[in-house]
Structure 1
Amino acid sequence: MGRSAERVYTSPSDIAQLEKWVDELAVNAAVRIVKHDGATVEGVVSVTPTVQLFLDPNDQEGMNGVVRLIDRNRPDWDGLVWLGDIRDIQHLDSVRMGSSKA
């Protein structure tokens, strides 16, 4: 994946939102993620994500992160979702850190 991202975030409120998503995405949690474009993705969180420093296409530094979801019915599926693309997280099981409504 490298250290480049389509979008990076620098404002304190945007970074706080990214960190909120990290709190929602505990390892082994079954989730449905709703993205800003309306697409949904379902899977199990394989590793708790972290907010990290990336460069956007204009070499601007900022924060973002990715969560990797797995789906045992699709073992070859690459379930990467950028934290900055998330609009909402719905928990499909009891492994959760909080509740989200952005």
Structure 2
Amino acid sequence: MGRRAERVYTDPTDIAMLEKWVKELAVNAAVRIVKQDGVVVEGMVSVTPTVQVFLGPGDQEGMNGVVRLVDSHRPDWDGLVWLGDIRDVQHLDSVRTGASRA
């Protein structure tokens, strides 16, 4: 993955939301993610995501991050979800870091 993102965030409130998703998405957690566009994806978090600096449109520097989900029933599935695209995270198991859902 490159250092480019469709959307980057600079507002402290938006960055706090990205960081909230990081806390919700602990490694090995089975989750259902509802994206801003209503698409729902499910899988197991393969690596805890981090908020990082990316370049957005017009080379604007800002923050975003990705979480990679894996699904043993779809081994070739590209389960990348941008943190900025998440509307809700629902836990399907007990692996959780203590943050509450939005």
| Runs of 4 or more consecutive aligned structure 1 residues displaced over 4 Å after TM superposition | none
Q: 2:42 aligned with 1:76, yes or no? A: no
Match of 1:100?
Answer: 101
Equivalence for 1:25: 25
CA offsets 1:33-75 (integer angstroms, 9 cap, x no match): 0000000000000000000000012100000000000000000
Unaligned runs of 5+ in 1: none
Question: Structure 2, unaligned stretches of length 5 or more?
Answer: none
Q: Taking structure 1 as the reference length, what is the TM-score of the superposition?
A: 0.97
Q: Distance in 1 between the 2:73 and 2:100 partners?
A: 26
SS at match of 2:81: strand
Match for residue 13 of structure 1?
Answer: 13
Q: Which amino acid aligns with 2:64?
A: N
Aligned-partner Cα distance in 1 for 2:40–2:96: 19
| Amino acid in the other structure paired with 2:82 | W
- Supply the AA of the counterpart residue of 1:99: S
Q: 1:99 Cα shift?
A: 2.1
CA distance in 2, matches of 1:99, 1:58: 35
Code of the aligned partner of 2:17: Q
Distance in 1 (CA, whole Å) between partners of 2:36 and 2:101 is: 14
CA distance in structure 1 between the aligned counterparts of 2:31 and 2:10, rounded to whole angstroms: 27
Say how many residue pairs are matched.
Answer: 101
Distance of 1:99 and 1:44 partners within structure 2: 18
RMSD value, Cα: 0.5
Deviations 1:2-52 (A, max 9, x none): 100000000000000000000000000000000000000000000000000
1:85 is aligned to 2:59? no
Identity %: 80
